[in-house]
Amino acid sequence: MQWKPLSAFAIATVTAMGCGGGGASTDKSGSGTAYSFVAPVPGVVRILSETIVDNSNNTIDIGYSDTAGTVNSDGSYGALVQSTSGESAIVNGTNYAVVTQNENYDDSGQELSYSFTAASGVLVTCTYTPHASGPDFPVEVGQTWQIEFTLACDNGAAQISYTQQGSVVGVESVTVPAGTFTALKFQSTVNWTDAAGTVRNESTTNWRDTKTLYSVKQEISIAVSGTAPANGYAVSRTIELESISDAP
């Protein structure tokens, strides 16, 4: 599957989300070699690690698994994400641990929605329009994209809108604990303002395996302005693929 940084981050730090619409534009004047998304094999488990540095210079290490679900006849599929490092990683009032969530993707690996059980015991479903961050696939080296999207949760909370700009800058080798991959290198920025008036500007370098377009490493920096968060918040995140299980 394609790892999506925003939803896990949003679950940990944003309590108010809402509905809306969006659109995308792409400049495909690239190298001419098209790289396509490949649907995951059901049952394959990917283990990822994440190192977070917060605004007080604390380092928080978390981990999670990503289990691919059934691929539907139209190419869409689901995935289950679960913490491998416990349900609590509270630092300065913020819980950075990944919440167990079921995710849904379209046939090109774009995340459409996810659901999780809130502390109250209520199942909450959140939907991206038109989809979460990232370009439409297939992609070429040299192309750029821009997308506006929103995240709507069915708990009646306020709307949050996102704007992302990015480019596919090249192909290079990247080594992570899971091995060495030939990877497409993506660079992007995404901006959003939460319901409290906190503005975030997130800059990401993302390496995706050229064979599948699955993300194997991300380096993320987050600049915060506007209303200061009441609790601690992430200023950088590094995500790496630790291992991939064999197909069942």
- Mean model confidence pLDDT for the chain: 88
Question: Is 60 exceeded by the pLDDT of residue 118?
Answer: yes
pLDDT for position 10: 36
CA–CA dist 204, 13 (Å, integer): 18
- Domain range 5-244, its CATH number among 3.90.550, 2.20.25, 2.40.360, 1.10.10: 2.40.360
Q: How many CA atoms lie within 13 A of 211 on its CB side?
A: 6
Place of tokens 């001419």: 32
Q: Which pLDDT tens digit goes with each residue over 169-217? A: 999 999 999 999 999 999 999 999 999 999 999 999 999 999 999 999 9
CA–CA dist 226, 8 (Å, integer): 22
- Of 11-15, 96-100, 109-113, the poorest mean pLDDT is in 11-15
Return all residues near 14 (Cβ < 8 A) that are at least 6 apart. Answer: 160, 194, 195
Give the CA angle between residues 222, 209, 40 to the nearest 5°.
105
The amino acid sitting at 205 is T
CA–CA dist 22, 131 (Å, integer): 9
pLDDT for position 247: 81
CA–CA dist 86, 78 (Å, integer): 23
The length of the chain in residues reads 248
Print burial letters for 125-153: b (CB count within 10 Å at least 16), e (below 16): ebbbbbbbbbbbbebbbbbbbebbbbbbb
pLDDT for position 248: 83
What stretches of the chain adopt beta strand conformation (E)? 23-27, 45-54, 59-71, 77-83, 90-91, 94-95, 101-105, 111-117, 123-129, 144-153, 160-176, 179-193, 198-209, 215-226, 234-244
Q: Which pLDDT tens digit goes with each residue over 135-165? A: 999 999 999 999 999 999 998 787 899 999 9
More confident residue, 159 or 15: 159
Question: Is 90 exceeded by the pLDDT of residue 119?
Answer: no
Mean pLDDT of 18-30: 48
pLDDT for position 32: 79
